[in-house]
Structure 1
Amino acid sequence: MQRFYVWDPLVRLFHWSLVVLFLLNAVITDPEAKLHENLGYLVVALVLLRLVWGLFGSRYARFTSFPPSPSGAVAQLTEIATGRGHAHKGHSPLGALMIYNLLLSLIGIGSSGYLMTTDMFWGTEWPEDLHEALVTWAEISVLLHVGAVIFESRRTRVNLARAMITGYKEMPTPETERSP
């Protein structure tokens, strides 16, 4: 196994803070409470910080290291279907698409939540409907993300959850990789 430093402290802190805040807001807090609103603003602040870090951060944190690639995602799905594949040092193509999906969903959730607090949209139903639909979409996406992390960790023999805790990915060396 080879060990690579991939996830810097800000990426890891962002990830796990987001996990806690999203879980609190989606499952525990009362949606009508001020705490729900404040936690939502914290989530938006985290996402904005991550967007800045995606431009100026460390190598694997930068968006240029994991551009959205439908062709890359199809290639990864083909690898999965044929039992081939390799681990990626940073985000895999499917992982990258999930990251963009979650960031955009959280921006939409925060924006629609904010609109519900404004005089202009007070009592208007569509911001609340949009907010609820995006929360449902984000919850489904999170479940898919967790399932994919478990699946890919087993498939590639790289403990992705541990890497998001320690910052290091332990990856198979070429001679220890499974043959197709």
Structure 2
Amino acid sequence: MRITRKKMIVSLLLPCVVALGLWHGAQLSGAEGDGTVIRRAPAVGVVDVERVINEYLKVTGDMDKVLAKFASERRSLDAIRETIDSMRQEADIYPKDTPQYLDIRTRIAVKTAELKVRLEANDASKNREQGKLMLEAFRKAQDVIDQLAKEKGLDLVMQMQTSDIKGIAYEAVSSQLIVRSVLYARDQLDITDDVIARMK
């Protein structure tokens, strides 16, 4: 799906608007008995969720197991590839207008279609299992962040990303830029390491 310029701007500004609202609320929170408003600076934290999930899955080894499982399944399809290659060599023996050639080419087409379907099924299953693992890790991270935020008295925890932007295509770059709502945060605000330690 193509990300419009307007949609990108809204997505980038929305976290800032939310943060500003929470900041204003924190500034005006609490009051003395005589009605005097107590002003205080909001407590903010940031978390590199991408790094948290990657580190967690590296420790559990679950993602490596999924990748190894589907890599093994793809290797098992090598037999079909070898059959197709062998049939192509056999077809080359006959003139292209002979029944033998046409019969072999038909069987090659059937085998090629079978291979394509099985490869696509392999990729789809792998993506589903990877997505499931990442979602489970994210939900666990959310619970840990909630606990830490309450322990540290944080009013707001925002997601940041420190990884390099990959690719140069518009869609790829846009999809990565749009989630980078935090462009700068002091090191003291970063609770990523605390989250990773708590999740292990």
| Structure with max Cα Rg | 2
- Same-fold call, TM > 0.5? no
Q: What is the TM-score of this pair, normalised by structure 2?
A: 0.27
